[in-house]
């Protein structure tokens, strides 16, 4: 009986091994063919806003480029600058690692505070984070319409003691492909290294 049992166990192991190997390989195959998490999402759309030079900038002008889109404002005391730093650091790292792909990624910062964020103010702000970061502003109505297309909520807060105000808004960084389709949310909350890793994952 012991010999019969041993033969059975060896046969069982031989039959089971291919199944285990297949199971181990399955996650790798799934990752390799993974669909972008935002595929098919209704995020983005045409707009005509004002660039840092005062000229009109339209969404269609970025056709053929990967785009990182972030809605925020320059007077933001904490979150927006931190996210902008992560975008700038992540893109610079990606440009260093993959020069050809990196130069085809355009970071876009759209203000949710058009009353204070003039083209001049935006230019100074964006230049602090990446030389190719584009700042866009416009009328209150134009910004509101654009934010709606990009599924961004914002609301002007109550005046503070010094006469200023905060703007509450959706905090998300979205990567779009060269056709203008949403691909993924970039993890700016985890820093520039994480952003660079995700750019390397999606931008080909």
Contacts of 183 (CB under 8 A, 6+ apart): 36, 37, 38, 39, 174, 175, 176, 177, 202
Contact 109, 134 (CB under 8 A): yes
Binding site members for Cu cation: 76, 80, 169
- Long-range own/partner contacts, residues 136-139 (CB < 8 A, 24 or more apart): 136/49, 136/50, 136/51, 136/57, 136/108, 136/109, 136/110, 136/111, 137/49, 137/50, 137/110, 137/111, 138/48, 138/49, 138/50, 138/114, 139/114
Alpha-carbon distance of 138 to 151, in angstroms, equals 18
Binding site members: 76, 80, 169
Q: For helices 79-97 and 192-202, give the axis angle rounded to 10 degrees.
A: 50
């Amino acid at each position: 009986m012991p010999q019969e049992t041993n033969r059975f166990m060896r046969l069982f192991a031989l039959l089971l091994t291919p199944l285990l190997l297949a199971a181990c390989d399955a996650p790798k195959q799934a990752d390799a063919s993974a669909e972008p998490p935002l595929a098919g999402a209704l995020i983005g759309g045409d707009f005509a806003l004002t660039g840092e030079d005062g000229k009109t900038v339209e969404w269609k002008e970025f056709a053929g480029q990967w785009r990182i889109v972030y809605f925020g404002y320059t007077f933001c005391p904490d979150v927006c600058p931190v996210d902008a730093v992560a975008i700038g650091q992540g893109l610079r790292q990606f440009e260093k690692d993959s020069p050809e792909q990196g130069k085809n990624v355009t970071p876009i910062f759209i203000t949710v505070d058009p009353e204070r964020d003039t083209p001049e103010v935006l230019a100074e702000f964006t230049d602090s984070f990446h030389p190719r970061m584009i700042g866009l502003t416009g009328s209150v109505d134009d910004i509101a319409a654009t934010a709606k297309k990009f599924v961004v909520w914002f609301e002007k807060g109550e005046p503070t003691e010094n006469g200023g105000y905060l703007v509450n808004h959706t905090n998300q960084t979205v990567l779009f492909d060269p056709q203008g389709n949403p691909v993924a949310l970039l993890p700016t909350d985890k820093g520039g290294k994480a952003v660079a890793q995700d750019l390397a994952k999606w931008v080909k």
